[in-house]
Amino acid sequence: MEQRTAVRPATPQQRAARAARNGGEPTLEFAERVPYDAYVRASTLHRLQEPLTDDPGEMSFLMVSQIMELYFGLTCHELRHAQRELRANRIWDALPPLRRAALHLEGLNAAWQGLRWMTPADFNRFRNQLGEGSGFQSAMYRQLEFLLGLRDPALIRPFRRQTEVYAELSEALAVPSLWDDVVALLARRGFEIPAELLDRDVSTEHEAHPVVEAAWVRVYGDGGPDNHLRLLGEALTEVAERFGDWRWHHIKAVQRSMGAKVGSGGSAGLAWLQRSMARVVFPELWSARTAM
């Protein structure tokens, strides 16, 4: 395991004194590891790419996949932060992490641009070496789906041999999703949410309910500047829309690089992805707009 060099804090006064000593030039001598590398661990990140073939295009596929994994984790971090604020009834404080999550999802979507060069012929040069490896098997993507309320307990089965990952996914299924917490918040704010929704089995996927839809119609009916619930609805809508964009870009990338061939992980490939698009994130936020 790599030993991490501590990053020594510096005050504004120390930074100003160093700049004066350096005559405005950057510091070029350090007693230990370069501080940037100690913090970002860039040298570690750039050793994590191990292509399986000599094809030069495989590095793009591998690194873009790793970048997406980092964005999955970062978005999960923000959504969990938002959950904590909502559980504490701090709607205003939940808005910044939700806005950041939407921006991170924009970065995630932009990552697809790095694979637009890949035709079926390009992908076929290294695809066989991936074996049964598939993005379907991303544990962090499952965490993101679970947080957003897209839940299917069967999808954690591939990780049963990875006990730590399996335990983390099982735990994620056992606690409320972000949308479950939003529905509970509506109840605490005086909306009459049925008990069967508040006490439901959270390991299963939330099904759209007309009472929740009606609550959002009422929320949006108040256009006042102090209506934090409406601001919350818009922040959540932005997250859902950007996540939907990612799923659409995924479908287009698959069409571009492999058409309707079967997936590497055993699925029907394109057809399976298209069916998954029918699962809506925060469904009542969308259906309520028809009644507004």
- Would you say residue 80 lies in a domain? yes
Residue 15 annotated in ligand binding: no
For CA atoms 221, 224, 226, 228, the dihedral sign is positive
Q: What is the mean pLDDT of residues 173-177?
A: 97
- Would you say residue 129 lies in a domain? no
Using pLDDT thresholds of 50, 70 and 90, give the confidence band for residue 258: confident
Q: What is the DSSP letter of 244?
A: H
- Do 210 and 241 share a structural domain? yes
pLDDT value of position 2: 55
- Would you say residue 23 lies in a domain? yes
pLDDT value of position 209: 96
- Do 30 and 63 share a structural domain? no
Q: What is the CA radius of gyration of the chain?
A: 23
Q: Rounded distance, CA 89 to CA 87, Å?
A: 5
pLDDT value of position 70: 97
- Do 201 and 115 share a structural domain? yes
- Do 279 and 174 share a structural domain? yes
- Do 113 and 222 share a structural domain? yes
- Do 211 and 152 share a structural domain? yes
Q: List all residues 6 or more positions away from 198 whose beta carbon is below 8 Å from its beta carbon.
A: 183, 184, 187
pTM for this entry: 0.92
Using pLDDT thresholds of 50, 70 and 90, give the confidence band for residue 262: low
- pLDDT tens for 114-128 read 999 999 999 999 999
- pLDDT tens for 182-200 read 999 999 999 999 999 999 9
Q: What is the DSSP letter of 209?
A: -
Instruction: Please name which of 170, 173, 167 lies closest in space to residue 147, comparing C-alpha atoms.
Output: 173
| Number of domain units in the chain | 2
Q: What is the mean pLDDT of residues 61-83?
A: 97
- pLDDT tens for 85-94 read 999 999 999 9
pLDDT value of position 50: 95
Q: List all residues 6 or more positions away from 292 whose beta carbon is below 8 Å from its beta carbon.
A: 217, 220, 221
Residue 33 annotated in ligand binding: no
Residue with tokens 């690089």: 257
pLDDT value of position 259: 80
- Would you say residue 54 lies in a domain? no
- Do 27 and 66 share a structural domain? no
Q: What is the CATH number of the domain that holds 88?
A: 1.20.58.480
- Do 217 and 158 share a structural domain? yes
- Do 207 and 164 share a structural domain? yes
For CA atoms 192, 198, 200, 201, the dihedral sign is positive
Range of the domain at 28: 12-44
